[in-house]
Amino acid sequence: MELDMVTMAASIGVSVPVIRFLLCFVTTIPVSFLWRLVPGPLAKHLYSAFTGALLSYLSFGFSSNLHFLVPMLLGYAAMVLYRPKCGIITFFLGFGFLIGCHVYYMSGDAWKQGGIDATGALMVLTLKVISCAMNYNDGLLKEEDLREAQKKNRLIKLPSLIEYFGYCLCCGSHFAGPVYEMKDYLDWTEGKGIWAHSDKGPSPSPYVATLRALVQAAFCMAMFLYLSPSHPLSWFIDPAYQEWGFWRKLSYQYMSGFTMRWKYYFIWSISEAAMIISGLGFSGWTESSPPKPKWDRAKVVDILGFELAKSSVLLPLVWNIQVSTWLRHCECF
């Protein structure tokens, strides 16, 4: 098995830890589909928590789940012990632990050398933990004092530990996002809100949208594999690069950045497919006749919107979309 993974890794020019992560990451799609078959909210919460922890263990090792437990337990303890300030407490504790992990593991250097660790997934988890605590904090405030996003996402009741762990580790978004709210997770699991039976018809079918995301992922991976051999980042430290003229350097910098973006497009397309096929990516119906399902909650990047953006002001709106939304909702906390 290890020999097969070495061969697979060599065929696409990555390390064995990276190919192991990619295999687990792609596995989130069938695992997310199977979530639909799990009966009852409690079983669904347990399934979400167990599969997320298992795939983390297979990807990063046992220590990854211990790292995930720290911000999760800190956030939950803050909500239990001091609700009036649990949001700000979780914000500083969560980001403090995340920064400490980045410094300790020197993740950027490890990734450059072909390694991989759990800090990428930890970033997503940290945002989810902070969001949950802030929404629980908002549950104490008067509705007229809240912004629309706060009214929609506020939590009146403390989630149970099982609900909380399922939300944090739900495998469809655990590795690379997108970030979503606890209120949406609970409604999705319990069949409430937009996931309740609608007079617009039966529950939306996710299969066409999932197939579209998978085709997009395949195209993105093909682009990356085609471009990366001729535009490696390693050339930036090659002595020959220093002798190039300004315009040649500039064009190479653009092409190397363009090449690397396809790797992110691939990862986020897989995340989008997993979110859609689980049903959590559903965000409502269009106003057309007949109405069509929207899957905006699963969308992390608008590839054409980013590549063809007419202004840098537009880039945050089409790159890592759900994190940009998170920042807009939480920046005034």
For residues 257 and 69, what is the distance between their CA atoms, to the nearest angstrom? 35
Give pairs for 313-320: CB < 8 Å, separation 24+: 320/177
pLDDT at 37 over 90: yes
Question: Average model confidence (pLDDT) for the chain?
Answer: 88
pLDDT band at 207 (very low <50, low <70, confident <90, very high): very high
| pLDDT at site 180 | 92
pLDDT value of residue 203: 77
| Encoded amino acid at 172, one letter | G
Which residue, chain included where needed, has tokens 């910098």?
A: 253
- DSSP per-residue string spanning 53-103: HHHHHHHH-HHHHHHHHHHHHHHHHHHHH-GGGHHHHHHHHHHHHHHHHHH
Confidence of residue 333 (pLDDT cuts 50, 70, 90): very low
Amino acid residing at 90: T
The answer, yes or no, to whether the previous bond of 202 is cis (omega within 30 of 0) is no
Contact by Cβ (8 Å): 92, 41: no
pLDDT of residue 199: 57
Parallel, antiparallel, or unpaired for β 293-294 and 284-285? antiparallel
Distance CA(287)–CA(33), nearest Å, equals: 27
Q: Which runs of consecutive H residues, i.e. helices, occur in the chain?
A: 2-12, 16-35, 41-60, 62-81, 86-105, 107-112, 119-138, 148-153, 161-169, 171-174, 182-190, 207-227, 239-242, 246-278, 303-307, 315-318, 321-330
Q: What tokens does 76 get? A: 């939950």
Q: What is the pTM of this model?
A: 0.90
Q: Which amino acid is at 264?
A: Y
- Residue owning tokens 């979780």: 90
Q: Using an 8 Å Cβ cutoff, are 301 and 264 in contact?
A: yes
Residue 226 has pLDDT above 50, yes or no: yes
The pLDDT value recorded for residue 86 is 96
